[in-house]
Amino acid sequence: MVSAFKLIAPVPRLSLSYHSDSNEHYRSFEAHTVRISGVIFLPLIFTLSIEKKNIQNMAAAASSSSTASPKTTTERRGIHGAQFVEDVEIYLSQTGLDVNSALAFLQERLQQYKLVEMKLLAQQRDLQPKIPDIEKCLDVVATLQAKKGTGEALITDFEVSEGIYSRARIEDNDSVCLWLGANVMLEYSCEEATSLLNKNLENAKASLEVLITDLQFLRDQVTITQVTIARVYNWDVHQRRIRQTSTSSTAKDS
């Protein structure tokens, strides 16, 4: 009697499931609050005088540096790197956008990041249970190999259907069948099966690692973008306030 065990090949599948892990919402009253996965980042208020000094320094620095974007993390596997903004005013003049279109652009970027994050999370969710599955298969093959030496049959109860189990008697044997997916099952010797399962386990763990690093990178970009949005918005609020006070003071004077 040949024993059959299910092996699920770790093929990451793409499925878009709108399951939002990070709770994020923007409350747009005067202060623009940004949530970074459980961390609330309140607006940074700049003072004009300090900013002016910084602008002069930044301008000097920017002219000396050749690249237009000082701190950009390069693209990684299709995910755009978020450009870190040293100074809001310089950023706005560089891109030539006014505040609203800059905000719109950044918001759009954020949405793209969200989409990619959901994709990656779904992939991770698919991949994660595969690893214990493969380990279970390895366990079974190891048990069979151990029993091979003793010469006695292995009696097991296996599930025929939900709640219904049947008894099976597994005699001494040298081979196992592995389910490779796509309705394909191949017979392997115990050693080959062990090595194949180990290889698959390695691959699964490696892809999970890569996935996790991608997710971390993505979350960093999301954080940078959120911070930039908050700063641009608050810079705008600040500018408006300055303008208001200047117009009201000129109105008072006249």
Partner 1 sequence: MQQGTGASETEVTWEDQQNINKFGRLNNRFHELEDEIKFAKEAIDNLEDASNELILTDEEVVRFQIGEVFAHVPKEEVETRIEEMKEVSSNNLEKLEEEKESVVAQMAELKKVLYGKFKDSINLEED
Binding site for partner 1 (CB under 8 A): 5-6, 23, 30-31, 35-47, 49-50, 54, 70-71, 84-87, 136-137, 139-140, 143, 154-159, 165, 168, 216, 219-220, 223-224, 227, 231, 238
Of the pair 114, 219, the CB lying nearest partner 1 is at 219
Shortest approach of partner 1 to residue 166 CB, angstroms? 10
Of the pair 79, 154, the CB lying nearest partner 1 is at 154
Of the pair 41, 105, the CB lying nearest partner 1 is at 41
Shortest approach of partner 1 to residue 209 CB, angstroms? 14
Shortest approach of partner 1 to residue 111 CB, angstroms? 19
Shortest approach of partner 1 to residue 236 CB, angstroms? 13
Of the pair 112, 124, the CB lying nearest partner 1 is at 124
Shortest approach of partner 1 to residue 8 CB, angstroms? 12
Of the pair 87, 214, the CB lying nearest partner 1 is at 87
DSSP string, the chain: --EEEE---------------S----EESSSEEEEETTEEEPPPPPPHHHHHHHHHHHHHHHHHSS-SSSEEPPPBTTBPPPEEPS-HHHHHHHHT--HHHHHHHHHHHHHHHHHHHHHHHHHHHHHTTHHHHHHHHHHHHHHHHHHHHH-PPEEEEEEEETTEEEEEEE---SEEEEEEETTEEEEEEHHHHHHHHHHHHHHHHHHHHHHHHHHHHHHHHHHHHHHHHHHHHHHHHHHHHHHHHHHHHHHHH-
